[in-house]
Structure 1
Amino acid sequence: MSVGEVGDEGLERFGKPLDGVRVLAIEQMQALPYATQMLARFGAEVIKIESPGTGDSGRTSLPSMNDPEGRKVGVTFLRNNMGKRSITVDLKNPEGLEIVRKLAAKADIVCENFKPGVAGRLGLGYEDIAAINPRAIYLSVSGFGNTSDSPYTSWPAYAPIAEGMAGLYEFKRAPGIAPIVSPLGALGDTGSALFAVIGVLAALRHRDATGQGQYVDIAMFDAMVALNDAGISYWSMGLKDPGLAPLINHSFKAFDGYLIIQCARPHMFKALAELVGHPEWVDDPRLAGPQDWFNHLEDIIRPGVETWAADKSRVQACAALSGVGVASGPIYNPGDVIEDEHVRNRKMLVAMERTDGVPEPVLSPGNPVKLSKVAEAPASRVPWLGEHTEEILRDELGLSPEEIARLTESGATG
């Protein structure tokens, strides 16, 4: 049976790969919340611990919308917390802390992104959780890790800090121009989150074989070093500036914007030269190989390509280039991405209806992992602050209405 012959309804019988996996997430902002959202998309049940009153600090980010009770909910929270349940617990209250420990005792995965040392001081570190639940996978996501020495351990870190320290901002930076901070959004968060998901899945597989949980320790700095593989490898082989790599790997102007062309092989260069009306380039001794193409990019190749593309749209130019085997693609802005047919057909946008009267929904990227035997169910919205507190205390911990009311009155829960 080929992929696509079974609709989502037919795939429901297979379930999701993480059905039955329980995740307890003590998390803020994006790096860890993005990871737990990915786990939720694969079927895990995620209980999110939030502080009463303020909740996850991502709720205060901008731009924002109002929830049904008129509270602000920021875009960082909106794009990283779909499919979760929220319970508000005061971790400074002994009874609140005990609630979290009881939930951790029933979880398959316990995860946190405190600054190093904070979870341990609260009694929620790896050793604490392993003592009450030795089968639990314990995940930490932090700037510089928790399980080995680092001169930066005490430094606070957000995505651009890790990106810059890993050398990503020096990749192809023009001399004399200051580095552009956050050129790829929150790559330091989302990239670290993906490594966190990989680590958790590997640890679950290890638990299947041994029955033992373990510590998955993700440092954002490490993750960004891994993503800068080309720059580090180039440097080690003497190419200190990746911008001088010997190939065509540049943007070119069409009438409605820019496109990218990557060309590093003679047969591609021949196809490019013939397509843009310059077959003589193939026999030009000045353009004998990739280093020569790079050296004469501005005085020969760019004028020829951009003259050819001047009456074409980005997509038209790329379609022609792709038709002769030259790798290319239009450079899109977010609006172009939202309108793109491929993105729509691959279900790569998730819409969440707003609750404050604004008709346009909040859009977030969908799940890029497409599994042939897993239905891609509609994403459920983010939880409102503390929305599931009573439900979780009742159903997960078996507390009575009177006990739940007492905990709320004492301030242990919100």
Structure 2
Amino acid sequence: MMFQGIRVLEVSAWVMVPAAGVLLSDFGAEVIKVEHPRTGDPARGLLTGGLSPSVGQVNMMVEQTNRGKRSIGVDIAKPAGQKIIYELAASCDVFLTSLLPDVRRRLGIDVADLRIHNPSIIYAKADAVGPNGKEAGKPGFDASVFFGRAGILNSMDKNGNAPDPRPGFGDKTAALSLAYGIAGALFRRERTDEASVVDVSLLSSAMWVASSDILYSWVLDRDFSRVQRPLTNPLSRSYSTADGRRIMLSMLASDRWWPELCRHIGREDLLNDERFADAGARTEHAEACSDELDTTFRSAPLEEWRNRLASLKGPWEVVQNSREVVDDTQALANGFIASVDHPTGNEVRAIRSPVRIDDKPHPLATAPEAWQDTEAVLHELGYGWDEIAELQNEGILP
């Protein structure tokens, strides 16, 4: 496990930063998640609010972004709680937070505060729009910043009907960037003994993902998503089937795949059509070629096309819905999704981190209950039962 022996102190909530913590814990890091001793991570409340689907009482949002961690409850706003954070930070390799700058300063857990207790700690933080500029410290979520501000939602808007942002896309994209930065910082510290500050934002992550649209728009000096691009390759688009499903062709080297495609769909006659003789001809007569393929694909249901195209080596896929992806045979064969026996007795599904090391899927754990490891972690710091009870009476611990 590549992060075995790495200790992470996480003071964060919701999805983006907790998801980065999961990417570390999946590969062996010990991640200690600090939650408020009375309310916990606000994401836990989405179960009772009906916004997060559950399996029994298992909040699937919390499971996917907190598995494998230890959870403790500490009121950091009080001096005794702050002292616990400092003691934990002294033995950790990474401090990971989603708190905004003014909150970090008020709580005494900004970079300089923690470096007093551990000069070699890597400080990793993430926010909405970046650490500089007049809007630094502005709050934000992926729907407004990742999808909205970065132009992604606009690029998906067709005739004034933009789709709703899908949950977690921006958060989990930024989480990958944050985990990547932490891994790089750990490597740098190993080589140079220098501790880094790692910074990621929803806006920077979205701009990286959408960089083609953004940069092409700059080149053209207009919104590239509104540029009408003619169809040039009929073998690189989706087609509807008789039962309303869709098949996506992605055969960019169309001359290579055209003969094989025609044979698989039973349209060998198209091979003798001069309009479609090669890529240049198919571009010149793209609409006619596309119409022929469209008529053909609409003549049979999806299941028939699955069977007929099974041996086609050219790139194509069925456009699946999210429920179908759960049972995707290739995903199951590679362990991208797997069943986990939850302590509640429920069987839940989990999506693994997308990295595979030494051709082995990493083990999957479950998310902790809020505060479940508080006493164990405090004992490890040297606190006795009487001290813990006193801190509980003062409201510093749950």
Name the residue aligned to 1:260. Answer: 248
Establish whether residue 251 from structure 1 lines up as the match of residue 242 from structure 2. Answer: no
Worse-matched range after superposition: 23-32 or 291-300:
291-300
The CA deviation at 1:152 is: 6.3
5+ unaligned residues in a row in structure 1: which ranges? 1-15
Q: Deviations over 1:116-160 (max 9, x none)?
A: 4211221111222223212111111111122x2254642422345
The CA deviation at 1:195 is: 0.4
Establish whether residue 302 from structure 1 lines up as the match of residue 287 from structure 2. Answer: no
Contact 1:144 1:150 in 2 (8 A): no
Of 100, 113, 120, the residue aligned with 1:115 is 100
The CA deviation at 1:314 is: 5.1
Q: Deviations over 1:31-87 (max 9, x none)?
A: 1111111100110000000011221111112335599xxxx6532112111110000
Establish whether residue 63 from structure 1 lines up as the match of residue 52 from structure 2. Answer: yes
Partner SS for 1:336: helix
TM-score by length of 1: 0.84
Establish whether residue 401 from structure 1 lines up as the match of residue 393 from structure 2. Answer: no
Q: How does 1:50-199 map to 2 (within 5 A)?
A: 50-61=35-46, 62-63=51-52, 65=54, 74-146=59-131, 148-149=132-133, 151=135, 153-171=137-155, 173-174=157-158, 176-183=159-166, 185-199=167-181
The separation in 1 between residues aligned to 2:228 and 2:310, in whole angstroms, is 26
The separation in 1 between residues aligned to 2:259 and 2:157, in whole angstroms, is 29
Partner SS for 2:65: coil
Establish whether residue 364 from structure 1 lines up as the match of residue 350 from structure 2. Answer: yes
Cα 1:190–1:311, aligned 2, differ >3 Å: closer, same or farther? closer
The separation in 2 between residues aligned to 1:167 and 1:247, in whole angstroms, is 27
Contact 1:171 1:241 in 2 (8 A): yes
5+ unaligned residues in a row in structure 2: which ranges? none
Cα 1:153–1:93, aligned 2, differ >3 Å: closer, same or farther? closer
Contact 2:71 2:369 in 1 (8 A): yes
Establish whether residue 284 from structure 1 lines up as the match of residue 284 from structure 2. Answer: no
Name the residue aligned to 1:330. Answer: 318
AA at the equivalent of 1:302 = D
Partner SS for 1:288: helix
Cα 1:79–1:241, aligned 2, differ >3 Å: closer, same or farther? same
Cα 1:169–1:375, aligned 2, differ >3 Å: closer, same or farther? closer
TM-score by length of 2: 0.87
Cα 1:55–1:299, aligned 2, differ >3 Å: closer, same or farther? same
The separation in 2 between residues aligned to 1:128 and 1:317, in whole angstroms, is 64
AA at the equivalent of 1:179 = A
The CA deviation at 1:296 is: 4.5
Q: Percent identity?
A: 23
Name the residue aligned to 1:210. Answer: 192
Cα 1:159–1:200, aligned 2, differ >3 Å: closer, same or farther? farther
Establish whether residue 219 from structure 1 lines up as the match of residue 201 from structure 2. Answer: yes
Aligned CA-pair RMSD: 2.7
Cα 1:219–1:177, aligned 2, differ >3 Å: closer, same or farther? same
The separation in 1 between residues aligned to 2:55 and 2:260, in whole angstroms, is 54
Name the residue aligned to 1:26. Answer: 11
The CA deviation at 1:188 is: 0.1
Partner SS for 2:71: strand
AA at the equivalent of 2:106 = R
| Number of residue pairs matched by the alignment | 384
Name the residue aligned to 2:260. Answer: 271
Cα 1:311–1:168, aligned 2, differ >3 Å: closer, same or farther? closer
Name the residue aligned to 1:5. Answer: none
Name the residue aligned to 1:339. Answer: 327
Name the residue aligned to 1:319. Answer: 310
Contact 1:188 1:220 in 2 (8 A): yes
Contact 1:27 1:48 in 2 (8 A): yes
Partner SS for 1:244: coil
The separation in 2 between residues aligned to 1:316 and 1:34, in whole angstroms, is 38
Contact 1:171 1:243 in 2 (8 A): no
Contact 2:275 2:282 in 1 (8 A): no
The CA deviation at 1:267 is: 2.5
AA at the equivalent of 1:364 = A
The CA deviation at 1:196 is: 0.5
Contact 2:102 2:137 in 1 (8 A): no
The CA deviation at 1:172 is: 5.3
Contact 1:66 1:356 in 2 (8 A): no
The separation in 2 between residues aligned to 1:299 and 1:65, in whole angstroms, is 44
